[in-house]
Structure 1
């Protein structure tokens, strides 16, 4: 793993940059100034840029949110999200996995994530007892413990209701607070015996679709993100190089109090994810 202080050393090596959003560009609040500067410089250098997020929101919604946080949409080429991929499959509702699944869906998600079911053949229902499918966009409230979902999940599993997980992230750092995401709910559902279909990083589809839209060669494209089990592991599986933002989700373990990479970074990374192999690492997303 090559230790870097910023992205300037990668400009000549790559034509395409696939950028994570949460933990890389921002931490729940305004876009980080150093990140905005780096995106501006990459754009000025003529690089192809995609913002690829595990949010269950659709790409246009993400773009508007990022605009409000301070990232103009004309600085990157397009957004692509786990929600986009999930919505495409829900809209088609075909293939072996969807065979035999009825068209009534219980949508578990915050009120700010309403976009997964409109435009699909699935009718939303308010009771899990009436559902054929559980669509998971995350906890409906940030203050709920994982245990509060057990009764809902057991009721669904008793009826063999499968789950679509539209955000594999298990947690994010939201302005300094670790917050549970849809991936944690999906893991609990599986642990109770439920069936789950995941969309987004690190699972197949999202990297391939993003690379196809970027139009850059795989060997000239790098994935940038703070998630070892999502951004980095997914890049590895897709055959793409990756740059780990060590000061994101795992900042307490991978970055010193003075903001530098820890001395034995490789061992610290392996302790978190034995399979993730970032090619590069920086303390934060900066030029």
Structure 2
């Protein structure tokens, strides 16, 4: 592997390099059933070592919802220092309205969310409208499996694009796990809107608002003392590198199929990552 990207077997090997951890959820801590035992032990050891741990998620739901899910999956809230979801960052930005992309959006919102969830607008000075023709902007927080096909949204989003409405996408992920396998995620619908001529601002990994919010939550430590851990070159590693942070790729997550097919996973990462997405370290599973 090229310089700066080293395979390790446990975080204890590099623990002196960082004081804070931004930790991905899906594919790193769990895959929807239970927190991996080695990952659970690693979080405990990190906490005992005095590291501050924020769990980051490209979820359009608020942080409390994600925290409750982690508890149900076996990771108690006292094992880490907090959850920062893209939905939480979006909610706080819309609450403050102090700077872009949240300032100047207007108060009438066409909301697209999963399971009818409205937590991303609860307590905000927003009016949720049923007709995109009445909206000042589009807020994309989530997608039901049955509504994941972007073509279902063509007419409404064509109207929104014609009206030059900004779409605020609170989940940049392109695919998600549905009942019958992978289906398009909110990021794919946002990309579809862009192809229709619409303007989109993304909140979530790898985009800057997510990492700026994490820095603020950690009280602005030096970025080079923060380790971003995740299983996606496109989201976790690219976002961490752009923010000037250390990065570690978990090989058993999003890229495992392509890595498992190769006799030299480091060669695959070197070829597909490029400088902007090259992790500083790699490991197969999260472990101490």
TM-score (norm 2): 0.89
In structure 1, the partner of 2:76 is 72
Helix, strand or coil at the partner of 2:16: coil
Q: Work out the CA distance in 1 between the residues paired with 2:65 and 2:164.
A: 32
The residue number in structure 1 matching 2:133 is: 129
3-state DSSP of counterpart to 2:93 = helix
Distance 1:45 1:99 in 2: 40
Describe how 1:208-287 pairs up with structure 2 within 5 A. 208-215=212-219, 216-256=221-261, 262-268=263-269, 270-271=271-272, 275-287=276-288
Runs of 4+ in structure 1 over 6 Å off: none
CA drift at 1:41 = 1.6
Q: CA deviation at 1:274?
A: 6.5
Per-residue CA deviation, residues 155-209 of structure 1 (Å, 9 max, x unaligned), is: 2112222100001121245799334321111111111110111112111132233
User: How many angstroms apart in 2 are the aligned matches of 1:80 and 1:96?
Assistant: 19
Aligned-residue RMSD, C-alpha = 2.4
Which ranges in structure 2 are unaligned for 5 or more consecutive residues?
none
- Distance, in Å, in 2 between the alignment partners of 1:80 and 1:167 is 13
CA 278–254 in structure 1, closer or farther in 2 if over 3 Å, else same: same
Name the CA distance, whole Å, in 1 between partners of 2:141 and 2:72.
22
Q: Hey, what's the Cα distance between the residues in 2 that align with 1:176 and 1:286?
A: 30
TM-score, normalised on structure 1?
0.89
Report the secondary structure of 2:111's partner residue. strand
- 1:150-165 correspondence to structure 2 within 5 Å: 150-165=154-169
Aligned to 1:149: 153
Within 2, Cα distance between the matches of 1:236 and 1:175? 33
Q: How far apart, in 1, do the equivalents of 2:200 and 2:243 lie?
A: 21
Distance 1:22 1:199 in 2: 18
Distance 2:30 2:103 in 1: 39
Q: Is 2:107–2:127's contact at 8 Å kept on the other side of the alignment?
A: yes
1:55 correspondence with 2:56: no
The answer (yes or no) to whether the contact 1:108–1:140 under 8 Å persists in 2 is: no
Give 1:54 shift.
1.3
Paired with 1:79 and 1:187, the residues of 2 have a C-alpha distance of 27
Give 1:90's aligned residue.
Answer: 94
Q: Unpaired segments of 5 or more residues in structure 1? A: none
Q: CA deviation at 1:118?
A: 1.5
Correspondence 1:168-179 to 2 at 5 A: 168-173=172-177, 177-179=181-183
